Amino acid sequence: MTTAASSRFAAFLDYGVAKTLAKLWVNLLARLPLRRESGVVTSRYGVRMRANWEDRTFRYCHYATYGRALSDYLAAQDRAFAFVDIGANQGLYSLLAAQNPHCRAAVAFEPVAATFVLLRDNIALNGLGATIKPVHAAVSLQSGIARIATDRAHSGTASLRDTGGAEGEEIRILGIAGVDTLIDGAPPLIVKIDVEGHEEAVIEALMASAHLGRIAAIFYEVDERWTDGAAIARRLGGAGFDCLTRFGIGRHYDMLAERSDAGPAPE
């Protein structure tokens, strides 16, 4: 088996089999009458979080069901960087980024009010308030107000894509000009995007950012039911992100876009 074939097979096992089975197991556990810790718990990713067992997204964070692709990537950074978390939810990846001593700053954007409270609590629980700046807003090209569809049973599915008839709330959207004012310093940026169908708009916003030249990597989610993954890849490729790595199979997967010519990180 070639190296490329081995990598594809490993990705299949990790995302196509292990991750799917892990989600099924966690969802099964939720139906069992188990005694669960209340208050504050430590996730298997190693961060402290406010217990929120009724939320499937929290359970996935707690049991490390999201896999290790991004968490390992953040832990492996050995030079100065800053982290931008667009669609931070309860803050898992901002917390993981900020635990790396090379992380100079993190900005976590979360628009849903109840989820933002948990994000802020989790930052405090881990003593990372000096590093992580929580922002109660979504990110897009232009600022404004919009309605977001929410699901209390799975907070990570909150979406601007289709709000017709769904439970939801009015949220603040911060345009890229406003976002840019929150991202200071000089280190390269690592950006995570998880916005349930609004990825293409967020990518366009980043392409218009005054900090585009600082962005070294973008980790984003693709669901081909509502996102054109090929169009995003072309757009990123045209902006110099010429190294694309796919994690997962089928129509729902994650992508890591990096620049092959990234220079040394300033301290």
Dump pLDDT digits (tens) for 24-82. Answer: 656 665 565 665 777 999 999 999 999 999 999 999 999 999 989 999 999 999 999 99
CA-nearest of 41, 140, 129, 42 to 86 is: 140
Across 200-226, average pLDDT: 96
**Is residue 151 exposed (0-12), middle (13-18) or buried (19+ Cβ within 10 Å)?**
middle
Q: Are 199 and 193 in contact (CB under 8 A)?
A: yes
Evaluate if residue 266 carries a pLDDT over 60: no
pLDDT for res 114: 97
3-state secondary structure of 53: coil
Does 101 or 263 have the greater pLDDT score?
101
3-state secondary structure of 265: coil
pLDDT for res 265: 45
pLDDT for res 264: 44
pLDDT for res 13: 58
Residue 138: its H or E element: strand 138-139
pLDDT for res 45: 97
pLDDT for res 27: 62
pLDDT for res 10: 58
pLDDT digit string, tens, across residues 157-210: 999 987 666 689 999 999 999 999 999 889 999 999 999 999 999 999 999 999
Does 5 or 231 have the greater pLDDT score?
231
Evaluate if residue 1 carries a pLDDT over 70: no
pTM for this one? 0.88
Give the integer Cα–Cα distance in Å for 260 and 28.
42
Characterize 58-88 residue by residue with b for buried, 16 or more Cβ atoms within 10 angstroms of its Cβ, and e for exposed: bbbbbbbbbbebbbebbeebeebbbbbbbbb
Across 95-111, average pLDDT: 98
Give the integer Cα–Cα distance in Å for 101 and 76.
11
Across 76-96, average pLDDT: 98
pLDDT digit string, tens, across residues 113-148: 999 999 999 999 999 999 999 999 999 999 999 999
